[in-house]
Amino acid sequence: MGWHELVKVVSFDVWNTLLRLDKVYVRLAELVGTVSSMSKEEALDKILKAYKEAKKLRRLGKVKASEVVEKSRSLMAEYLGLKEEVLTNLITKSLLLLKTNEVLIEDVPTILKHIKKLGLRTVVLGNVLFWPSTYTRKLLENTGISKYFDAQFYADEVGVQKPDSKAFLIICKVLSVEPEEVIHVGDGISEDLGGALSAGFKAVLISDRVEKPVSIGDSIHIIPHIRHLIDVIKLIKRE
């Protein structure tokens, strides 16, 4: 069996896979300091606490995909002691102020270009939290990598979020492929690795807990950085 028959599509998470989320929150913390008495450090601590709690609620299925942005933003506003409309404006401003070289993870354009040269289709499968997917789409466009994707799927648009297998299977339906023909790449153990496997996908987890690529069978691969993704694809090619 040729490798192109084993894998036809590579699906990507966005944050901490393609783009750096920490840069968004640092910039947001700086802006919070301009409208409150909080230091950047204090604001960042509250932002990260809100992020942790919002992610937990989303992971446990306590917030619907259609409500996650509104509920999560309300939660962060509460943590920061800000009105929601003020926070919304600050989030928008922080995303607009990001520069390509600070938010784009190293080697991502090179990896995407290489994957396209291999004849594979690529998609984005992303959850949302404090801002709608329209902002994320714009960021991918601004960083110059949206051109590498055949399609983008986001929780607030499709009505279902990772790790629900239904979110992953939307890719199969739209691109007319079987689950075993898709590799999903992301940094979330539950949302990306667990969700992908539950849908019958192959999964690549990006984790700084490993120093070099680790494979568990032919469906689970753990890599320390996205630059190792091509090695995983070549490994599957040999199977």
Distances (CA, A) of 131 to 127, 190, 194: 10, 21, 24
User: What pLDDT was estimated at residue 65?
Assistant: 92
- pTM, 2 dp: 0.94
Q: What is the pLDDT of residues 51-84, one digit of tens each?
A: 999 999 998 889 999 999 999 999 999 999 999 9
Q: How far apart are CA 83 and CA 230, in angstroms?
A: 45
Cβ neighbors of 22 (< 8 A, separation 6 or more) are: none
Q: How far apart are CA 63 and CA 71, in angstroms?
A: 8
Cβ neighbors of 92 (< 8 A, separation 6 or more) are: 131, 135
Q: How far apart are the first and last CA of the chain?
A: 8
Does 2 have pLDDT greater than 80? no
Taking residues 182-208, what's their average pLDDT?
97
Q: What is the pLDDT of residues 90-139, one digit of tens each?
A: 999 999 999 999 999 999 999 999 999 999 999 999 999 999 999 999 99
User: What pLDDT was estimated at residue 182?
Assistant: 96
Does 28 have pLDDT greater than 90? yes
Does 178 have pLDDT greater than 60? yes
Q: What is the pLDDT of residues 83-101, one digit of tens each?
A: 999 999 999 999 999 999 9
The CATH number corresponding to 21-100 among 1.10.357, 1.10.150, 1.10.20, 2.60.40 equals 1.10.150
- Quickly list DSSP for 100-135: HHHHBPTTHHHHHHHHHHTT-EEEEEE--SSS-HHH
Taking residues 203-222, what's their average pLDDT?
95
- Extents of the domains making up the chain: 3-19+104-238, 21-100
User: What pLDDT was estimated at residue 236?
Assistant: 79
User: What pLDDT was estimated at residue 239?
Assistant: 54
Q: In the CATH scheme, what is the homologous superfamily, with its name and number, of domain 3-19+104-238?
A: HAD superfamily/HAD-like (3.40.50.1000)
Tokens of 57: 């609620």
